[in-house]
């Protein structure tokens, strides 16, 4: 549009200039608005092709969450263990040094189960611990030392806090006397020689075993005592108690077990062999008095032969005599002596 289109004939020139200026300003403003609109359009078109704004990086742990939980548990356990060890160490140090854990005298040692063993032997073993801290008493060593006492078969040694020791022993059961050299001792069923009882009020009534030597090993004595146990078991079977009539049992020869019977007419040595002890002894009980009337000075009889009885086979001066076996009593089971 031409500038002359805006003029009027009757308008002054100053008004005309002001009007032209206003029109020009409106054109500039319109042009500026168009330019701004184009710029916004360009920016909108460009923003469609721009990348997503960069996010702020989050710092993550290199371990998975499950592993982190496991590590925490391990750490807790380690802390607890360290605490327990520290407490145990403190308790150990206290136990070592505290006076209340010291064994003051023999009154702090309790001994039970001792009847036949000498109490002095027991105190010789445990008396060394008087004045010692209870936690430093070697229980296993004391147990072995106590079981080394012949009368004691087993022992139990315990600590009783704060400062006492309890000892309980199980003694061996004697089954016979044994003569070794000139000494008489008690012996158990396994061949352990225990000496005599320290308790003088205890009385035993056993036969005396002959044929066991001092140098004989325990295994050999155990084998001899196995024969003795079988002998007593057979003689006391069927309601009989013939073993009570025996004063001696000679086990020198396992194939010829000899027993000495206490008879009203005098002691008689009976050769029973190695089997059928009860049958042979019954034969003597039934006919012992008869043999005494038939043979003077009856000292021993040998019942090992089949069909005959040998009287006084152990006599030094007079030759042995034989007698027919009594018919009412079967002797077929008696063992013939080996040649």
Residue 216: pLDDT band with limits 50, 70, 90:
very high
CB atoms near residue 306 (< 10 Å): 12
Residue 52 has pLDDT above 80, yes or no: no
Peptide bond into 162 cis (omega under 30): yes
pLDDT at residue number 69: 82
Residue 70: pLDDT band with limits 50, 70, 90:
confident
Q: Which residues touch 126 (CB under 8 Å, ≥6 apart)?
A: 109, 111, 142, 146, 157, 165, 167
Residue 184 has pLDDT above 90, yes or no: yes
pLDDT at residue number 323: 56
Q: What percent of the chain has pLDDT over 90?
A: 53
In angstroms, the CA 193 to CA 203 distance is 17
**Could you tell me which residue, 85 or 247, shows the higher pLDDT?**
247
Q: What percent of the chain has pLDDT over 70?
A: 72
Tokens of 136: 């430093």
């Amino acid at each position: 549009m031409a500038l002359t289109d805006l003029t009027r004939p009757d308008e002054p020139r100053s008004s005309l200039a002001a009007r032209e200026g206003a029109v020009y300003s409106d054109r500039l403003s319109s042009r500026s608005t168009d330019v701004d609109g184009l710029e916004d359009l360009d920016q909108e078109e460009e923003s469609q092709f721009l990348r997503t704004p960069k996010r702020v990086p989050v710092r993550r742990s290199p371990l998975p969450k499950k592993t982190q939980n496991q590590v925490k548990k391990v750490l807790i356990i380690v802390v607890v263990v360290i605490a327990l060890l520290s407490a145990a160490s403190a308790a150990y140090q206290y136990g070592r040094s505290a006076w209340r854990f010291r064994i003051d005298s023999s009154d702090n040692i309790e001994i039970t189960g001792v009847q036949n063993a000498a109490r002095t032997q027991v105190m010789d073993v445990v008396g060394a611990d008087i004045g010692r801290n209870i936690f430093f008493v070697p229980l296993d060593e004391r147990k072995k030392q106590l079981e080394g006492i012949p009368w004691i078969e087993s022992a139990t040694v315990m600590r009783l806090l704060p400062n006492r020791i309890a000892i309980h022993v199980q003694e061996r059961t004697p089954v016979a006397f044994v003569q070794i050299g000139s000494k008489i001792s008690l012996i158990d069923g396994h061949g352990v020689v225990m000496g005599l009882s320290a308790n003088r009020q205890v009385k035993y009534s056993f036969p005396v075993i002959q044929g066991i030597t001092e140098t004989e090993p325990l295994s050999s004595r155990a084998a001899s005592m196995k024969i003795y146990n079988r002998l007593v078991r057979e003689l006391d079977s069927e309601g009989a108690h013939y073993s009570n009539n025996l004063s001696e049992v000679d086990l020198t020869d396992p194939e010829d077990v000899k027993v000495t019977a206490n008879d009203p007419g005098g002691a008689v040595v009976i050769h029973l062999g190695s089997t059928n002890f009860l049958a042979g002894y019954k034969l003597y009980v039934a006919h012992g008095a008869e043999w005494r009337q038939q043979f003077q000075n009856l000292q021993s009889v040998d019942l090992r032969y089949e069909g005959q009885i040998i009287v006084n086979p152990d006599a030094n001066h007079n030759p042995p005599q034989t007698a027919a076996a009594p018919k009412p009593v079967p002797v077929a089971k008696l063992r013939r002596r080996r040649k």
